[in-house]
Structure 1
Amino acid sequence: MNIVFIHQNAPGQWRHVARHLAASGLHRVILIGKHRRAEIPGAEFRVYTVDAKHERGDSAPSAEAYANFVAHGLAVARVLQQLKQEGFIPDVIAAHPAWGESMFAKDVFPHVPLLHHCEYFYRTHGADHGFLEPASLESSMAIRARNTGLHVALAAMDWGVSPTFWQKSLYPAEAQARISVVHEGIDTDMFKPDSQACFTLPNGIVLTPEDEVVTYVARNLDTYRGTPTALRAAARLQGLRASARVLIIGGDGKGYGSLPDDGRSWKETLLEEIDLDPLRTHFLGRLGYDDYLRALQVSSAHMYLTIPFVLSWSMTEAMSTGCLVIGSDTAPVCELIRHGENGLLTDFFDANALADTLADALKNREALRPLRAAARATIVSAYDQRQCVPTLCRLLEDLATGALPPRDTETISLASTS
């Protein structure tokens, strides 16, 4: 097959399936992205360029946000047109539609099937909007306008995949009938427990699974991923457990939510009000995969908090590594974690409950070991890339030959057991 994968940060969620298809030597795989990211052996990379006048941040007015969406679509259309002029005709195109890149794919290649990664459809009620603070009429109208581009994307797609049932449920009913639940897959051979693992802190202290280590991971330390609750819980925990160390992994950028009014990072703002022990609190920034994995492997308890929003890879990777995940009782976390069976759940806003649960987990590590094994089993049984990638490959092959799954198909993977 000739396959095009489109993602602003290509390969993005297509990384495992793109790598698998490129490695086979049987397909021509082309990645289209805004920036040249990690190379995939055997795959070609094309970069698209958006006109500078159309570049806007998330705070852009609705009309300008839509113009930005269109601009990204035009930029990718130019790359697709160039491929067409070179004689390349894809059998199938797989894209993430959130930024508009696939908007005009069907105009360049009208007869080529289009698969979308349906990660998130914004709602004025029942999801992220209004969860952290009361929603205003203006913000609700902005959400509706923001979905305009996604409606265009849904009209163009032949089929879609969502990583969780909850994320699928956010989409309009007509679109849900053309969306299957297939996670992108976790590398369970890489993310696995290791009783001999060690993690060296910047100060030279070496941590092992025998130490009391609490981990927290977010791409950026922000409100969407519960950083305020996590840091407040860490401070209380340190008063309850004299030996507990807390590893905070993540950057200081804007993240998904907004920054404090003064423009500083949430880390700076929170450290002014939260009394954390500097000798037992370790802000590690963003880590490379090897260090990140070792941190998970020495973790005694792992905090994962999110408002109702997209599920982070870090939670599934922590579960695959056999971490005891203490998550927020929010969607889609509770789709994977069953309290007391394969992890523990607490209220997203309740730092005291989180701290007390962490302290209990550190005190009763041996008794809670079965939950860690069950967490890994959950990922191996339904979210392992060895299952998810072949499922995605079959879907791509079916689309390329004109075969679509039956409408209203709940899932075409083993994720139905989750």
Structure 2
Amino acid sequence: MKMDNIVCRESYSSRSRPLRYLGRSDGSIEISSDRGGNRAFVSLAQMFRTVFLPQGYPESVSEDYLEYQIWDTIQAFCSSITGTLATQAMLKGVGVGDSTATAAAATITWLLKDGTGMCGRILFAWYQGSSLDCDAKRWRLFADILNDAAICIELVSPLFPKYFTAIACISGVCKSIVGVAGGATRAALTMHQARRENMADVSAKDGSQETLVNLAALLVGLVLTPMVAGNPTLTWSLFFLFTFLHLYSNYRAVTCVVMETLNQARLHIISQEYLSSVDGHIISPAAANAQEPVVWKLYRPLKVNLGAQFGQLVKSLPDMEKCLHSNRSQKFLAGLSRKTGSINVVLHRDCTADDVIKACFQAEVMQHAQKHAWTESRRSDPIGVKPVFYQEIRELLAKGSRMTPDDCWEAGQALQPDQRQPLPSIHR
């Protein structure tokens, strides 16, 4: 009897169930599935991947996707539980269960809370909107810390009935800021995770995962609510427990993300390592991300004002001549302001990504000089840049870096045409 021959094997992704096309002796083709283990379990796992994971997982997402989503799931669950505790406290504070409370007073309180929250959302988006995707990890953690603070404020609100409206408004502002910062940074992280132009799919599946987690937290909340009613000790114990888990899981989530694009913090880390090493060592994106601070802003001896106003750098015509001479014919001007302790970088309106790299690296050289206490009276050979450094930085930049906010100033007339000369020499 002639055996069936396998004419083709097919799989949807590396973790999908492969299909086999068998050539039969009668000339027909039969489709067979390679099933391993328990058939019901395999079908359930396949359904879970289809419903909750992006199409083509894991090839269609970044390598850190699974670890990040696990920690993000834990933090979402903890946040939902503490949110349930806060909701109970807010309802008590607004007058639920109090025979003297009126529906009109509760409505006014809620309207004031929502109104102040809307104002806070607008002001925060205006003040920090352009920097949220530059430092997505730090702002993501900030949003979750502020969310826990808002929940804590809501829990204490019933203890101060005379000031309940003011406390509710403060909580509303905090949660509005959380909504702006969390939503904007989530979009930046989704862009990082999507590797096949599938941002919509990654975002939609993230929403499905969060909905499932919130549903599970809702069921747990139904059990906890009768237990914590009238028991402040248990309420605060659960709050501190889940808040600790929430903050820890958020910290693990943002620190496991390996962004392959550049912002000023990661460029500073890479450049300083390159300038400090004897052999011009260039650290990997994973190493740079591991050193990137996610709680506090990166400390630098000199503040880099990338996209500065022309008037911040040049105060007189002699100053302008010095800047043009020291920067030669680049499409940017860079100078140190000793009064403000900052490096001001003016960008030409026609500057390219390469010009931004040069401007940022020149600022980092000045940072390095300040760190090692260089002075103008001591001189050495000019600092050179190896082609491999420039090439690797350009590749990272091409992936979609955000080293400068959108609202930077651009000079139009003062700078000379770019002649592709090397970086200005920095002497000591």
TM-score, normalisation: structure 1: 0.25
Q: Which structure's residues are more often strand, by fraction?
A: 1
TM-score, normalisation: structure 2: 0.25
| Larger radius of gyration between Structure 1 and Structure 2 | 2
Q: Which structure's residues are more often helix, by fraction?
A: 2
